[in-house]
Structure 1
Amino acid sequence: MQKTIFITGASTGLGKSTAKLFQSKGWQVIATMRNPEKETELTSLENVIVLPLDVTNSEQITETIKSITEKYSVDVVLNNAGYGLIGALESLSEIQIERQIVTNLFGVIRISKAFTPHFREKKSGTFINVTSTFGLIGFPTCSIYSATKFGVDGFSESLASELTQFGIQVKVVAPGGMKTDFAIRSMEVGQHQAYEKLTAEVSKGYSAEQLENYTKAEDVAQIIYEAATDNKNQLRYVAGNDANALYNERLKNGAEAQVQNIKAMFTF
């Protein structure tokens, strides 16, 4: 029987790569994005339905998911939509901070809440929530971004134990750096004169040269597919060599030691 995956943020990068992979594996894909009228690649694929959805619009979320669950039996929900807000806390406006939290955290919560009755009635279903290395490890200039990604991680861990009684799984995929245009397309950078040296140092990690060392979006999509199909009772999937190295260091040495090491790196 054909399975169905619902994806947010499917217009580019990891979302689009995941949509294409699941479609190639015979799944029906419901790919959502803010501006579907601009999409040409996914709309040409068999068994792919492209729909408008802005995860900051709670009313649209409710209406869209109600319509979908009335027509389709969804097996997997991939909460992928999000963007990066990078900068020292003093450099960020209240509007920027609120938008980041509403998109990256509230969006996941609202989508999950809207789909939970569908999964509960089916007595099956899987939520896969995309976080980040910075949802496991804090890093300078990432305070608000990490707040949202740590939030999604904690939300996912709690929800996993809440929904297990209904046969529902919740999983987290935490990628490190990816070879996409995320740093250009999906990142806001705050600037503050007092943090110029820090911001310049951290920004080296987003350079064109450094991006070449990161994991391909297609490889992270493979890990999402694994999480959706491996039938493992596993919560976290860390994706990418850099992400695994940092996370393994945290597990080996402890969170406190890693925090002190990172602070030492940026003591000017």
Structure 2
Amino acid sequence: MSRTVLITGTSSGFGEAAVRRFASEGWNVVATMRQPDAGQTLAALENVLVTRLDVQDRESIEMAVTAGLDRFGRLDVVVNNAGYGLFGIFEGASREAIQNQFDVNLFGVMDVTRAILPHFRANRAGTIINVSSGAGVFGAPMASIYSASKFALEGFSEGLWYELHSLGIDVKLIEPGGAPSTGFVARMGAEGAAIETADDYRPFLDKIDAVYAGMGTAADPDAVEKVVGAIVEAATDGSHRLRYAPTADIQPILEARRRSSEEGYQALVRSFFVPLG
């Protein structure tokens, strides 16, 4: 019997690619997005149901879970992929913009998880895969709000891992680096454009923009393929492993954050952000 996965944020990027990968491997897929009309090509795939789910609309979450169960009878895996990055100077970000960042990246994940847990508990089985970020492990300039939302997602996921383990339910985290070929960067730029920046920050911004431009060229060109591969691995490897970090571009910082001393980590970060000194 085919297994079934529900994926959020499938109109582009990792989500769309994951739908295609799971479908190609014989899974039933509930491909969810805010505007289902954008998913017509996915709906044409065998055993793919495209339905509406807006992580900021709890009713739509319940309806999507119900639609998936009605169509396929069972859900085995949920991939909380929907998210975006709010990048810019913290001081210039409005309270509303920060709330929206947390509503999508954290509270939306919690609401989707809450909606699926009764089904998983009844089955004494299920896997919840949360797409985090390297920014959920280390902070960086211009990313304080985004990192805060992903740090919170990491803490939530790790704590939930313990709560659900005895029920046969696994929780897993995917920690990608940069992926310039997805729609993430475009939305990041649009959201960041609304952030006002005081003139006092201009010298800093000139320097840090140059740093990020250089770092962008080091982004893993195969990021989408690697991230989707990690999602599929997390769904199928039968392990209780919590974290998967599939892209090479952030490995040095991840290793330093988790394995070196605080002094060693800070020295490495300063080497990335030399203009800050």
2: CA distance, partners of 1:204 / 1:41:
38
Alignment of 1:69-80 (within 5 A): 69-71=69-71, 72-80=73-81
Deviations 1:61-103 (A, max 9, x none): 2333244335531111000000010011111011111110101
Structure 1 segments unaligned to the other structure (5+ residues): none
Q: Distance in 2 between matches of 1:123 and 1:23?
A: 24
Percent identical among aligned pairs is 38
CA deviation after TM superposition for structure 1 residue 186, in Å = 4.3
Structure 1 residues 202 and 115: CA distance shift in structure 2, 3 A: farther
Tell me, yes or no, if the aligned pair for 2:253 and 2:268 is still in contact at 8 Å: no
Who is 2:258 aligned against? 251
Residue 25 of structure 1: how far off its partner (Å) = 0.6
How far does residue 208 in structure 1 lie from its aligned partner after superposition?
Answer: 9.6
Equivalences for 1:80-229 in 2 at 5 Å? 80-180=81-181, 181-187=183-189, 188-189=191-192, 190-192=195-197, 193-204=199-210, 207=213, 210=216, 213-214=219-220, 215-229=222-236
Q: CA deviation at 1:209?
A: 8.6
> Which residue identity does 1:56 align to in structure 2?
Q
Given the superposition, is the C-alpha separation of residues 19 and 205 from structure 1 closer, same or farther in structure 2, using an over 3 Å criterion? farther
TM-superposed deviation, 1:185? 3.1
Give TM-score scaled by structure 1 length: 0.92
Residues 164 and 26 of structure 1, relative CA distance in 2, 3 Å threshold: same
Return the alpha-carbon distance in structure 2 between the equivalents of residues 198 and 160 of structure 1. Answer: 40
Q: Following TM superposition, where does structure 1 have runs of at least 4 consecutive aligned residues deviating by more than 4 angstroms? A: 204-209
Whichever structure has more strand as a proportion of its residues is 1
In structure 2, distance between residues paired with 1:45 and 1:179: 26
1:230 corresponds to 2:237: yes
- Taking the aligned partners of 1:255 and 1:227, their CA distance within structure 2 comes to 30
Counterpart of 1:51 in 2: which secondary structure? strand
Shifted more, 248-257 versus 81-90: the winner is 248-257
Question: Which amino acid in 2 is paired with 1:233?
Answer: H
Shift of 1:231: 1.0
Q: How far did 1:204 drift?
A: 4.4
1:246, distance to aligned residue in structure 2 (A): 1.3
**Preserved contact between residue 80 and residue 131 of structure 2 (Cα < 8 Å):** yes
Counterpart-to-counterpart distance in 2, 1:260 and 1:88: 23
Task: Pick closer, same or farther for the CA change 1:85–1:256 going to 2, 3 Å.
Answer: farther
| Distance in 2 separating the partners of 1:16 and 1:36 | 12
- List runs of 5+ in structure 2 lacking aligned partners: none
1:252 deviation in Å? 3.0
- 3-state SS of 2:249 partner: helix
Name the structure 1 match of 2:276: 267
1:179 and 1:45 map into 2 onto residues whose CA distance is 26
| Aligned-pair Cα RMSD in Å | 2.1
